[in-house]
Each structure stands twice: as C-alpha cells, then as structure tokens.
Amino acid sequence: QVQLVESGGGLVQAGGSLKLSCSFSGLTSNTYAMGWFRQALGKEREFVAAISWSGGVTNYADSVKGRFTISRDGAKNTVYLQMNSLKPEDTATYLCAADFLPSEGVRVRVSEYEYWGQGTQVTVSS
C-alpha cells in the first residue's frame, strides 16, 4: 500500500527557513510525479511545487518562486521542499502527493494526484 509521510514543519519567524521532507513507500512504478500543496485554515488546497520522478522537471506556484526549492533523492525515496524567506502568508498545512505519469512531467492540480500524505504544519509569525 502506498504511504507518504511529511515531516519538518514548525514555527518560524518571518524571513526564516524550513526544510520539509516527504518519505514515501509502496510506489511500484518508477514514473511518479511528486508535488507539494498547502492548505491554510478555511481555504482551498493550493499547488506549491512539483517535480518529475527523475528530478529533471520542476514547477512552482508564482507565490513561492525564488523562495522555495523542490528536490528529490531517489535512493532515499524522499522529496524535499526547502523554504526560504518565509512570510506569514505561507502559514498552512503542507501536504505531499504522488501521481503516476508514464513520462517525465509534472502535475499541478489537486484533482490529478492519487496519493496524499497527512500533512505537516508550517506557521510563520510576523
């Protein structure tokens, strides 16, 4: 069974940094796109970043470009989200997701992802 587990969230001051991790298991295919999404209290889940299985293709939401970096380590079955220059509006539950793609590509819509983790809370104080 597929399982994704996020970690690394916490409370930081504006301008600080956090690095989130998503460890996954049970993905039998080697061609899974991975993504990070976030959901603030009372708001819809929104796209943050995505990466192809090989790591060769990435995509970012405009709100995080230049501040966040998604990466992966295939040997460790882990995807990361390095978050720098954090802002109070980045406060949300961050979730990782996986979806099968038969090619090197990414997906950015919530409805396109099949597997989800439970999320890790990120709170940025002002």
% the chain with pLDDT above 90: 83
Q: Mean per-residue pLDDT for 27-31?
A: 75
Is residue 48 within 8 A of residue 94, CB to CB? The reply is yes
**Span 46-64, pLDDT tens digits:** 999 999 988 999 999 999 9
**For position 99, what pLDDT does the model report?**
93
Q: Where are the beta strands (DSSP E) in 26-112?
A: 32-39, 46-51, 58-60, 68-73, 78-83, 92-100
- The total number of residues shown for the chain amounts to 126
Distances (CA, A) of 108 to 74, 76, 88, 111: 21, 23, 23, 9
Place of tokens 């916490």: 10
Structure tokens of 29?
Answer: 């295919």
Is residue 46 within 8 A of residue 60, CB to CB? The reply is no
Q: How confident is the model at residue 15 (pLDDT cuts 50, 70, 90)?
A: very high
Across 27-31, 52-56, 64-68, least confident range: 27-31
Q: Is the pLDDT of residue 29 over 80?
A: no
Neighbouring C-alpha atoms within 13 Å toward the C-beta of 114? 9
**For position 8, what pLDDT does the model report?**
98
